[in-house]
Amino acid sequence: MFCPNCGNNVGNEDFCKKCGASLDNPSTRRFCAECGSPLDYGSERCSQCGAEVESVYKQENENVRSRGIEQQSKQTQPTAPKKKGGKRLAVGIAAAVVVAAAAVIVVLRMGGGEGSDTQFAEAPPENVYHDGGAIKIMTKAFNQKQASSDSSVLKELETYVGEDLEIEWTPDTKYDSSVNGIIGSGDYPHVMLVGSKGSAFVQAARSDMFWDISEAFDNPEKYPNLAQADPNVNHNISVDGKIYGIYRARELGRAGITIRKDWLDRLGLDIPETIDEFSEVLKEFTENDPDGNGVNDTYGMVITNYLSGPLDNIAVWMGAPNGWGVDDETDELKPSFMFEEYKDALKLMRDWYKAGYINQDMNTMTADKWNEPFLNQKAGVIIDVADRSRRLAQDIAPINPNAVVDVFGYVTKDAGSEPRTLPTNGYNGFYVFPKSTIKTHDDLEHILTVMDKLNDKTAVDLMNFGIEGVQYTVDANNYVTITSNKELLDDISDLNQISMGIITFPDGLKTKYTVPVAEKVDKVYEKNRQYAISNLAEPYISETYTKNGPVLDDIVNTAKMNFIIGKISEEEYDKEVERWKREGGDNYIREVNEEYSKDISVKQ
């Protein structure tokens, strides 16, 4: 028996000794789509990486908490009957409960065929799917109701890709545990979304359970869309230098600084371009009455106990690595917080805090309160994601119609330094192709051809918006107006989860926003991408960190916060870093470097 949470072999135990999950009730945990860490119920941000949890996730998470054990008992009822075109997914013990609860199965035709196990054929494969069998594609569901097999949009998509499609929807709140259960049982669908690169997936990939599709990305004649995938993102999802999946794109250049432009104008200041100019803006926002109310009641920037987002951006601006970097003396990877440039960022934030440019309750303010000082005219700067500016501009308008919100991507260390930006990892899950269900290379090539076609503009528009004239209308500038008819919207519900978004279309359909700053966000993204600093250790899995990551993170994150607010000295901070190393950090570094040394893509 395998743990549905981490994939560990647990025998007949009641609890997994590796991760502690209850084997009777594993799906009450949910995980961050960005880093795979467990999320607290009702949380707005991941405590480990700071990724934002969408409101629909939070509501569903709250529903799971309120239903508790009662909901879990309902999930143990008999599984759904077999769907058309193929066998029903059978997963091991606890995973069968989770997966069967929401199953509608994706179908493409499947059959025989022969092909090489080592390379892709030169000519496009024939359609070898003659027996009407099913390829099952498993993906996430976020809404209460998903597009059914009778969906007009799904049928249009089927016509476009030339295959019958049914989709197996699995609720996001239990998706990762479902995937881990399937990995543990070995009974796979044909195409499966892996939400995060956890140890269970990595072990399965290393055990040759999934097809290595690396060469598909170098074959633009056969796979013109897949060949345009970002090599940095492919590296991030890779295992030992091999690419086992097609990623679902997430904006790389998402970081941004939201600022009160009307405050800048009142004080005669421009958008800052360097660290010194940024510091001056914070000083002026704190000391010179930027809102003009005659009261000393403002400060520069609001920061919460989610420190990593703002701090890591500032550290990268100042020259520190993103996450991990190469030590020039040892030529090995080490965490960014062990570099002098990172400590310089800590010292700068300590100075800002001491001067009152940052809210004095930053160590206790939770991320769900982050917007409040900005909206209440107390603070004028937030370092987070660029698209936060859209929400802040919309929310502040009823409170202060004269407020002007602006956004920019970064500042440089000084006037002579090149820009550096902190990117996301560039993906939100990836689709993998199990060998146990995709028997031959011809079958794999056909499926990859369909996945490639799902990245065409026509397919993307169908999955994201539906059918023109039915689910939406479009004006001369390609701005979309979505219907308010719920029944019509049900036909596209969650279909965007199949979309991979590898290609962006400049002439594609667009959503029109009501606030001017929204038009700048995409420009910030585009500029940020040019200067993104990759995390060199992003692809690697450490057994030590898998087991003890929260403990290690707590040591160093607490030390960072306490240093900034003046609770500990620099010497005491250095001692905490040494404690981090003793309590598993050294092993973590060693394991990451072992993975780094095996990564064939690094050697090329």
Q: For a pLDDT cut of 70, what percent of the chain falls above it?
A: 77
Please check whether residue 499 is in contact with residue 462, taking contact to mean a CB–CB distance below 8 angstroms. Answer: no
**Residue 440 sits in the same domain as residue 417:** no
**Residue 363 sits in the same domain as residue 293:** yes
- The b-or-e profile of 586-595 (16+ CB within 10 A means b, else e) is ebbbebbbeb
User: Total structural domains in the chain?
Assistant: 2
- Model pLDDT, residue 424: 93
Task: Tell me the range of 257-266, 433-442, 539-548, 595-604 where mean pLDDT is highest.
Answer: 257-266
What's phi and psi for 210, nearest 5 deg? -120, 155
Please check whether residue 215 is in contact with residue 120, taking contact to mean a CB–CB distance below 8 angstroms. Answer: yes
**Residue 240 sits in the same domain as residue 113:** yes
Query: Does 324 fall in a domain?
Result: yes
Please check whether residue 77 is in contact with residue 102, taking contact to mean a CB–CB distance below 8 angstroms. Answer: no
**Residue 391 sits in the same domain as residue 480:** no
Please check whether residue 68 is in contact with residue 28, taking contact to mean a CB–CB distance below 8 angstroms. Answer: yes
Q: By 3-state DSSP, what share of the chain in percent is helix, strand and coil, each rounded to 5?
A: 40, 15, 45
DSSP 3-state of 104: coil
Give the end-to-end CA distance of the chain in Å, rounded to a whole number. 40
Query: Does 22 fall in a domain?
Result: no
Give me the numbers of helices (H) and strands (E) for the chain, helices first please: 20, 14
**Residue 504 sits in the same domain as residue 531:** no
**Beta strand pairing call for 167-171 and 137-141:** parallel
- Model pLDDT, residue 8: 44
pLDDT digits (tens, 9 = 90+) for 24-82: 433 333 445 554 444 443 445 554 455 555 443 344 344 433 333 333 333 333 333 33
Closest CA to 84 of 134, 24, 39, 118: 134
Residues 6+ apart with CB under 8 A from 216: 120, 222, 223, 226, 227, 448
**Residue 399 sits in the same domain as residue 293:** yes
pLDDT at 276 over 70: yes
pLDDT at 125 over 60: no
pLDDT at 10 over 50: no
pLDDT digits (tens, 9 = 90+) for 350-402: 999 999 999 999 999 998 899 999 999 999 999 999 999 999 999 999 999 99
pLDDT at 90 over 50: no
Q: For a pLDDT cut of 90, what percent of the chain falls above it?
A: 62
**Residue 197 sits in the same domain as residue 311:** no
- Model pLDDT, residue 135: 72
pLDDT digits (tens, 9 = 90+) for 220-256: 999 999 999 999 899 999 988 899 999 999 999 999 9
**Beta strand pairing call for 405-408 and 427-432:** unpaired
Query: Does 552 fall in a domain?
Result: no
Query: Does 581 fall in a domain?
Result: no
Query: Does 601 fall in a domain?
Result: no
d(CA 344, CA 331): 22
Residue 240 DSSP code: T
Closest CA to 229 of 376, 371, 427: 427
**Residue 125 sits in the same domain as residue 185:** yes
d(CA 247, CA 112): 27
pLDDT digits (tens, 9 = 90+) for 165-213: 778 999 988 888 889 888 888 888 889 999 888 778 888 999 999 999 9
**Residue 261 sits in the same domain as residue 383:** yes
- Model pLDDT, residue 162: 84
Domain final residue pick, 508, 527, 553: 508
pLDDT digits (tens, 9 = 90+) for 542-579: 989 988 898 999 999 999 999 999 999 999 999 999 99
Q: What's the average model confidence in pLDDT over 82-96?
A: 32
Q: Which domain holds residue 212?
A: 84-252+427-508
- Model pLDDT, residue 96: 35
d(CA 378, CA 597): 49
CATH number at residue 454: 3.40.190.10
- Model pLDDT, residue 55: 40
Query: Does 167 fall in a domain?
Result: yes
- Model pLDDT, residue 32: 52
**Residue 259 sits in the same domain as residue 387:** yes
**Residue 500 sits in the same domain as residue 415:** no
Query: Does 589 fall in a domain?
Result: no
d(CA 150, CA 136): 17
d(CA 258, CA 309): 13
For 148, how many CA atoms within 13 A lie in the half-sphere containing its CB? 6
Query: Does 45 fall in a domain?
Result: no
pLDDT at 296 over 70: yes
**Residue 444 sits in the same domain as residue 362:** no
Tell whether the torsion through CA atoms of 439, 442, 447 and 451 is positive or negative: positive
Angle subtended by helix axes 340-355 and 275-287, to nearest 10: 20
- Model pLDDT, residue 504: 85
- Model pLDDT, residue 241: 85
